[in-house]
Amino acid sequence: MEHEGVRLARTRDHSSRTAVRLEGAPVTNTSSSAYDKLDTSVAHSARLWNHLLGGKDNFAADREAAAQVLAFMPELVQSARFNRQFLGRAVRYLADEVGIRQFLDIGTGLPTADNTHEVAQSAAPDSRIVYVDNDPMVLAHARALLTSSPQGATDYIDADIRDIERIITEARRTLNFDQPIAIMLLGILNFVVDDAEAARIVHQLLDAVPAGSHLVISHPTREVNPEAVDRAVRMWNAGGSAPMTIRSPAQITDLFAGLQLIDPGLVTCSRWRPNGNDTTPASEYCAVARKNN
């Protein structure tokens, strides 16, 4: 059998982590040290996703890897866009209807249109957002692009999702953990292969925030095109990157244990409170839930 694989970059656990706080004014300086850590010869998940969304912050290796998957799974582009649109709708719902003013976005990826802080601060200019990622290219772009409204604040933390204690400690500089916080985990828990560790991450985050906080998750499943999804995962995991996993809707629902799921519950990203006509099922499932106590 022919071996399938693409060269993909490992998620790195940086020994030196950086936080960049952007409050009230644009920050345009970037550091070459972040770019020095880049390996553009292998594909990376953040850059590949950026390519799928029509962005320009990617390299030939990322585009080649995407092309290999799109050859048998062309709906991946649509799935990526549905996931991004879900982020916007979820943030608008939380800011407009719930009144959330604080967002902790872990695994943010490369900045693109309608970032969390842009959506939140368009609804409520005093919103405060903390982004978390450990990709050096994301860090470099965060310094240049993640600007804040004068009334609000935007912070960036360079950390791995598994280091929740550090994330919470550094996020406290910007967020008030005595007030409700929206925890955003979009397309990131699939890179935490162990179910117990994924549950531990979610529970540790929820334990740190008060009642009235919300949890937002999107996660790939096998529900729409199982054979193509399985093939894509095999290619990804054969390429030497940080391994990923697929979870069933029941397993994703388990991550919301003890929370109140907001209607319509766990659904494909295209069908979570859609504001358009395209509700084509996508491989990414999502939900928003409230912590009541």
pLDDT at 235: 80
Q: For 89-148, how does the pLDDT look when each residue is reduced to its tens digit (9 = 90+)?
A: 999 999 999 999 999 999 987 777 788 999 999 999 999 999 998 877 787 777 666 788
Instruction: Choose between 232 and 125: higher pLDDT.
Output: 125
Q: How confident is the model at residue 44 (pLDDT cuts 50, 70, 90)?
A: low
Query: Which range (139-148, 169-178, 279-288) has the least confidence?
Result: 139-148
- Which distant-in-sequence residues (6+ apart) come within 8 Å of 1 by Cβ? none
What is the distance, to the nearest Å, from the Cα of residue 26 to the centroid of all Cα atoms in its chain? 23
Instruction: Please report, rounded to a whole number, the percentage of residues in the chain having pLDDT higher than 90.
Output: 53
Least confident of 8-12, 50-54, 194-198, 208-212: 8-12
Higher per-residue confidence, 133 vs 171: 171
- The confidence score (pLDDT) of residue 136 equals 78
Domain boundaries, the chain: 19-38+82-224+244-290
Cis peptide before 150 (omega within 30 of 0): no
Instruction: Give the model's pLDDT for residue 275.
Output: 85
Average pLDDT for 228-254: 86
Mean pLDDT of 239-247: 78
DSSP secondary-structure letter at 173? T
- Whether cis (ω within 30° of 0) applies to the bond prior to 136 is no
Confidence grade of residue 238 (pLDDT, cut at 50, 70, 90): confident
Q: Which two tokens stand for residue 178?
A: 């005595």
19-38+82-224+244-290 folds as Rossmann fold (3.40.50)
Distances (CA, A) of 198 to 78, 83, 190, 192: 26, 20, 9, 6
- The CA distance from 39 to 25, in Å, is 31
| Residue 256 predicted with pLDDT over 70 | yes
Residue of 255 and 64 predicted with greater confidence: 255
Query: Of 159, 152, 155, 151, nearest to 172 (Cα)?
Result: 155
Q: How confident is the model at residue 165 (pLDDT cuts 50, 70, 90)?
A: very high
Question: What value does the mean pLDDT of the chain take?
Answer: 83
